Amino acid sequence: MAKTKTFLTFSVENEMFAVDVNQVYQVIRNTDITAIPKSADYIIGIKNFRGEIITILSAQKKLNIKENAAVAKNVIVIFDLVFDDKHVAVGTIADKVHHVFEIKMSEIQAVPEFGSYFNPKYLKGVFKRNNLFFSILDVIKIFSEEEIEFIQDAARNNQIMA
């Protein structure tokens, strides 16, 4: 029997992405994000979610996707990332969550050459489903532990308002 993996798929600026469903903590509506002054341009802010401070980063900026103000950013995909046996929740804003697909590992192809469009170090591969190509994100590489911890520590120490 062929080994399979389950992926949650979503769109960001009409680009189709997939993440291992085991790394998805929650999908919530895009509301109440507190901006962080003087932060990197890819840091949108923080959100209090069930008493936990969640760092919200821009996948658009990290992946070099041109932002389209006309596209509604309706949801936040929150990931449960593990760094040295420590769980950290971090999110990104998406246009829409689409489907959960079970994909055979043999269907996943290597990351094609995108030129300077996407940063390939953030991608694990691609697959095709329903005539659409989905890029599989490597969320551990996109959301670095140091950036997340810095923002969360600052919020906990009341250096920024949560």
Is a pLDDT exceeding 70 seen at residue 157?
A: no
| Percent share of the chain, pLDDT over 70 | 82
- Interval 23-30 mean pLDDT: 92
Question: Going by CATH, does the domain composed of 4-156 fall within 3.30.450.20?
Answer: no
pTM for the model stands at 0.83
Q: How far apart (Å, rounded) are the C-alpha atoms in residues 132 and 17?
A: 10
Is a pLDDT exceeding 80 seen at residue 17?
A: yes
* Residue 72: other Cβ atoms inside 10 A: 10
pLDDT digits (tens, 9 = 90+) for 71-99: 667 899 999 988 777 788 889 999 999 99
| Percent share of the chain, pLDDT over 90 | 36
- Interval 25-48 mean pLDDT: 86
The phi-psi region of residue 26 (left if phi > 0; otherwise alpha if psi is between -120 and 50; otherwise beta) is beta
Burial degree of 66 (CB within 10 A; 0-12, 13-18, 19+): exposed
- Interval 33-38 mean pLDDT: 83
